[in-house]
Amino acid sequence: MPGVRYIFLAAILFTGAFAAGQSGDSAAIESSIGLRDPGPEDDWRLVWSDEFDVDGLPDTSRWTYEEGFLRNNEAQYYTRARRENARVEGGHLIIEARKEPYRGAEITSASLTTQGRAAWTYGRIEVRAKLPTGRGTWPAIWMLGTNITEVDWPACGEIDIMENVGFDPDRVHSYVHTAAFNHVIGTQKGSSLIIERPYDDFHIYAAEWYQDRIDFFVDGRKHFTFENTGGGPDEWPFDEPHYLILNLAIGGGWGGQEGIDDSIFPQQYVIDYVRIYKRID
């Protein structure tokens, strides 16, 4: 859901509609939750990864940054190549939100993206991460179509592998957004799953993306499937390459629904690895 880059007014107005719509979708999907060992070493070939094993700024051959005030009426200023907000340390990528004055903002954070560096069509996207927590936090793992500059959002497609909001800290969400299915018009498709204290330990968040569906997992537990029903690109824009985004937003239309607790800062979103697999035929 974080990908409303170009429709600021709609992003500000969606708050009530999104909150009302998400519970119904989640309840319907969660009744069919299944268990599965994804077994990437058996079924998939690793084609891209970052294990975050070199301290310093993130690897510029893999990552670039979003910068500034971007979307959803969020409070943070996303900084570029600033160690206070994004650094590799002790085998982890740390995205840190800080309460501090910076370029007209009172909060800084970071959003790392592979845009212009790497993009994929189909495959398994897997991220092992420990979430931040506290009222106002909104971490995400998500993807946008590389054609966003041509067709805009949501026609480009958005795959939300994981989202979490600090006022509901033990619940993680997965959603897709397309021209036909998105939160602005109240038709978004997705699910949520309760995880015990995902801010205390690492969990594996993954999506397996095929030509006919996208399956979403937490620790090998499938909790949502979005199917390609053949309705064309308005419903399924997912035959085009998408790039990956890792970000920690603060406040905004969803993350800020219950305000921001200024006492929680700094907050760290800690990513152990990112791995992209292709299916072995």
Q: Is the peptide bond before 266 cis (omega within 30 degrees of 0)?
A: yes
- For the stretch 163-191, what's the b/e string if a residue is b when 16 or more beta carbons lie within 10 angstroms of its beta carbon? bbbbbebebbbbbbbbbbbbbbeeebbbb
| Nearest one of 201, 197, 189, 185 to 158, comparing CA atoms | 189
| Nearest one of 116, 18, 148 to 73, comparing CA atoms | 18
Query: Which candidate in 74, 96, 126, 163 is catalytic?
Result: 163
Decide if 258 is catalytic: no
Rounded to a whole number, what is the largest CA-CA distance in the chain? Answer: 52
Q: With beta carbons less than 8 A apart as the criterion, state whether 222 and 34 touch.
A: yes
Question: Cα dist. 105→98, 99, 258 in Å?
Answer: 11, 9, 20
Q: Which helix (H) or strand (E) holds 262?
A: none
Q: Which helix (H) or strand (E) holds 36?
A: none
Token pair for residue 204? Answer: 């594996």
Q: Which residue has the tokens 């309705």?
A: 231
Decide if 84 is catalytic: no
Query: Which candidate in 158, 196, 240, 258 is catalytic?
Result: 158
User: Could you please report the per-residue DSSP string of 68-123?
Assistant: BS-STTBSEEEPSS-TTTEEEETTEEEEEEEEEEETTEEEEE-EEE-TTT--BSSE
Q: Is the dihedral of CA 75, 79, 155, 28 positive or negative?
A: negative
Active-site residue set: 158, 163
